[in-house]
Amino acid sequence: MKIAIASDHNGFELKEVIKAHLSEREVAYEDFGTKAAMVSVDYPKYAQKVVEAILRESVNGGILICDTGIGMSITANKSKGIRAAVVGDVYSAKVTKEHNNANIICLGQRVIGDSLAQMIVDAWLDAEFQGEPHQNRIAMIEK
């Protein structure tokens, strides 16, 4: 498994926490930026990098982080084949994979703390898509 991860300047610190957590779990990742919290950047550019990695299948999923997760989610969901969900609790992280086969989770640095973010990432990584009847619903969304 390999995960793409990116943030804007408002999500940089949480991105670094999540990267360390992924390393502890021995989950490979590719960091698509930003490289610092000091300079304001445009989050759509970073969301698009993760989307492109998923669509070309060089990674298995993605984690996007900004101040709320909302802007990243809106941006990512503009691309066909992407199912990005803003997640703020463990149950939603689990179910968004099981029911929606979400290939990106979006986190808000100003909304959740480091420990909760790590639990959310774990729940999403460990969950498995349950197939029907959910696959039929995903097909309906994609139409």
Which residue is it, tokens 């000091």? 38
Which listed residue (21, 66, 106, 134) is catalytic?
Answer: 66
Asked if 96 contacts 40 with a C-beta cutoff of 8 angstroms, the reply is no
Which residue is it, tokens 């989307």? 51
> Facing residues of 105 across strands?
63, 85
Based on the residue annotation, tell me whether 99 is a catalytic residue of this protein. yes
Cα gap 31→2, rounded to integer Å? 11
Based on the residue annotation, tell me whether 106 is a catalytic residue of this protein. no
Among positive and negative, which fits the CA dihedral 93, 99, 100, 102? positive
Residue positions annotated with a catalytic role: 66, 99
